[in-house]
Structure 1
Amino acid sequence: MARPVDARKDQALINILTANARTSVSEIAKVLGVSRATAQGRIARLERDGTIAGYTTVLGKEDHGTTISAIILIELEVKQQGGVIAALRKRTEVVNCYTLSGPFDLFVRLSCATSAHLDEVIDWIAEMDGVRRTTSSILLARKFER
């Protein structure tokens, strides 16, 4: 188990990378008050341990002509979660999938090139074996992201 000071520095490092994954190791070391080698070692350990699973590109507000996004809440039949998640994982339009507490079991974010394509994917999800019902919301504008 990491010492509390180490755990706080790891969380601070994660917060820095969450805000900007392109922050240089030198800048991270400076903010954390550690050497560059120590910061690089922490990053490597967090990646190796699976705490940091990868890095991604977050598109700005400009219209990149690429996507329309939606949030789909899914209520599942009993004991069908594994099969539904496996099927969702195979679709590149599914950007995120989270389990939930409450009346819905899954929270899924979709990203499609057109509204017609989005409609097809939403219909596909609704017709999947194991899906009891869905509720969909189109994402209009990102106000901020961390």
Structure 2
Amino acid sequence: MALDRVDQTLLELLQRDGRMSAQALSEVVNLSARATLNRIHKLEDDGHIEGYRALLARQSIGEHVSVFAEIALKDQRQATVQRFEQAMVACPEVIACYLVSGRYDYLVRLACRDLAHYRDLTNTWIDDVGLGIDKVVTSTELQTVKEFAGFPLMVRTQR
């Protein structure tokens, strides 16, 4: 489905504030609240909106350390890759995991109680031969300059 300007505007607004009311959205896009709500439901049904969630203030979750781990696997066999990816998905400390190109295979972001917690976790992974981890290179977050707040919308619009 090609997105028109109204759809794109709705996506931009909802990405910024997923709790924005249909009435408030309708005023921006110059449609009735019912027509706006119908558009939103269509965007959801068509898979353009995957869900809604709350962004928590970091101080509300208590002290923690955010760590980026560059992980290289020993081999690229499908079984190794699947075991590794399943372990990342199942690990609550892993808040993001990306398959990347370059000198390592995965970039993993973790939220841990402290560095000892991170060290214990990664040592457990390395000791698990089935995960096939060759090397872990760690960078500790010192300060968040810009946190992920949504994707820039670069979709084609209808005229």
TM bucket by the smaller chain?
Answer: 0.7 to 0.9
Alignment partner of 2:43 out of 26, 39, 46: 46
Distance 2:123 2:7 in 1: 42
Amino acid at match of 1:98: Y
Match of residue 18 from structure 1:
15
User: For each residue in 1:60-103, what CA deviation from the matched residue of structure 2 results, as whole angstroms up to 9, or x when unmatched?
Assistant: 36464243211112222212322211111111111111221222
Larger Rg: 2
Instruction: Give TM-score, length-normalised by structure 1.
Output: 0.78
Match of residue 122 from structure 2:
122
Q: 1:92 to 1:64 in 2, by over 3 A?
A: closer
Q: Identify unmatched segments of 5+ residues in structure 1.
A: none
1:67 equivalenced with 2:64 (yes/no): yes
Distance 1:126 1:42 in 2: 48
1:88 equivalenced with 2:85 (yes/no): no
User: For each residue in 1:10-39, what CA deviation from the matched residue of structure 2 results, as whole angstroms up to 9, or x when unmatched?
Assistant: 333222222222222222222233322233
- Return 19-28 or 57-66, whichever deviates more: 57-66
Q: Which has the higher contact order (CA 8 A, sep 6+)?
A: 2
CA contact (8 A) 1:61 1:142 kept: no
1:135 equivalenced with 2:137 (yes/no): yes
Q: Report the secondary structure of 2:23's partner residue.
A: helix
Q: Identify unmatched segments of 5+ residues in structure 2.
A: 150-159
Q: 1:101 to 1:113 in 2, by over 3 A?
A: same
Distance 1:74 1:21 in 2: 34
Match of residue 152 from structure 2:
none
Amino acid at match of 2:137: T
Distance 2:88 2:21 in 1: 35
Instruction: Give TM-score, length-normalised by structure 2.
Output: 0.73
CA contact (8 A) 1:26 1:36 kept: yes
Distance 1:41 1:66 in 2: 42
Q: Return the offset for 1:131.
A: 1.9
Amino acid at match of 2:52: Y
Q: 1:89 to 1:31 in 2, by over 3 A?
A: same
Q: 1:28 to 1:140 in 2, by over 3 A?
A: farther
- Cα RMSD, aligned residues only: 2.4
